Each structure stands twice: as structure tokens, then as C-alpha cells.
Structure 1
Amino acid sequence: MRYDSAMTRLAAIVLSLGLLAAGAPAHAASDGPYDIMKPEPRTPGVANPYVSPRRMPQRPRRVPRAQAPEQRWRDTPPPIVMPGTGQVVPSVPVVPRGSVPGGGAESFGDRAARCAHQSGLAGLPGDQRGTYMGTCINQ
């Protein structure tokens, strides 16, 4: 029994010392050269930070508005004659692409969208739209 009571006392002492050590606040040594809370020393040869005249806060200058580029419409492609029926379908003008200076060239996707739109405007029946799209895109 003596051994058990001595071990229990020793365990209680170690546990209480551990709790006391864990509960005590830790104080950091701030005397070292690597304290992150100290202001950085001025580096020789580096200009001082900007101080505005009259100690007024700095205000950014307004950037002038950019002028919108003038829109140039491309020449309208020639009308398309439907093979087999001889029906003439007028073409819609090519729309310039975005804000690219000069509008850029009409891409394949732009041309396909324009041709699909034209076929709807011309009122072509569904069985002739495939032929028209092929002719218009490859124009």
C-alpha cells in the first residue's frame, strides 16, 4: 500500500506542477534584434517617404476618359443566289469585332452567326438552310 500511495502523491504533484506551468502566461524576450513589433530602422541611401505639401492627404489625379473608337462598317458581302431554286438572298453587313482598332477580320464563328441570322431574315424554309449556310460561309 505504501508504494501505491507514494506513486499517487508523485503523480498528483507532477500533474499540479504541469497545470501551474501551463496556466502561467509566457513572456517573450523582446530585447533581441528580430522583434517583429519594432519599427524598421531607416536604410541609408533610401529616400524618405513622400510627405505632401501642407501635410494634406494625397489624392490621385483623375484619369481622362478614353475616346471610343469610331465604328467602321465593312462592305456588305454580295447577295447569295440559292443553288437549285435561283432565289437571291440579300446579305447583312459585317459587324466589326469589339474594340479592336480597325475592327479586325470576321472570324469563322462570326461568319456562321451572320449567315444563320441572314437565313432567318430571308425566310428560307428549313430544307434550304443547310445549303444556304454552306454557300454563305464559304463565300
Structure 2
Amino acid sequence: MFKLNRWVVSFLLIGSVFFFVSCEKDVVETITSNDGVQARLAYTEKGYTEIEVNPIVKITCYFSNWDKDVMTPVSGLFDYYDTDDNWVASIDFGDGTCDEWATKTWDVDVFPDYPSGTNDFSVFDYKDKN
């Protein structure tokens, strides 16, 4: 009886290890750069002119939190102007550092509902495995 219980306990222990290991899943299957398209479209769809001050430069960056290499925009600058050639906003993709962030900066007089004048946003789209 004691030998049988030891086998049952061993089997359950090993089985539970396999269960938990097999249930461990990556939260994100794919990460892709969207090059800030939505942020850029938000300005051009409102009639602002987009000027490419510096083109987007993309390099392969390794992100340890996902254990993935991702083509990432690391620099680039776009300015936006109204019909009178007044600056209204910029989108800055960085200084060459591998990160997922770009920065929007805007004229708070043109966009008074957004008084901070700046916002960092992710340039990645995430797709779950599900």
C-alpha cells in the first residue's frame, strides 16, 4: 500500500509539472512596428500638412521582455503645419535608442483640450496567440 501511494504521488507530481509547463504561454505572438501610422494619420486627416524632417530609420532591436528581435523605428521626425504654414505638431521617433516609444508634441493653443503638449506612445502593434 505504501509503495502504491508513493507511485501515485510521484505520478501526480510529475504530471502537474508537465501541466504547468505546457500551460505557460507567450502573451504576445507577434510584435510589429506600425511606424506611428495612426498618430500620423490623426494629423493629416485633419488637413495638416506632414513634412518629413528626418526619415524614419529602422533597425533590428532585441527586447528582453518578449525575447524577440523586432524591426523598430529608432529615429525620424515629422512636423505638421496648418494651411497658413504655422507649426501645429511634431512626431519624433527618437535619437537612435532601441525602444518602443515615439513622442508627439503639439501646440496647446491649437489643441487646447490636450494641455500637456506632449505624449509618448508605442510604435508597436501586438497580436496575441489566441
Query: Given the two structures, how large is their TM-score scaled by the length of structure 1?
Result: 0.24
Between structure 1 and structure 2, the one with the greater Rg is 1
Greater RCO between the two (CA within 8 Å, min separation 6)? Answer: 2
The structure richer in helix per residue is 1
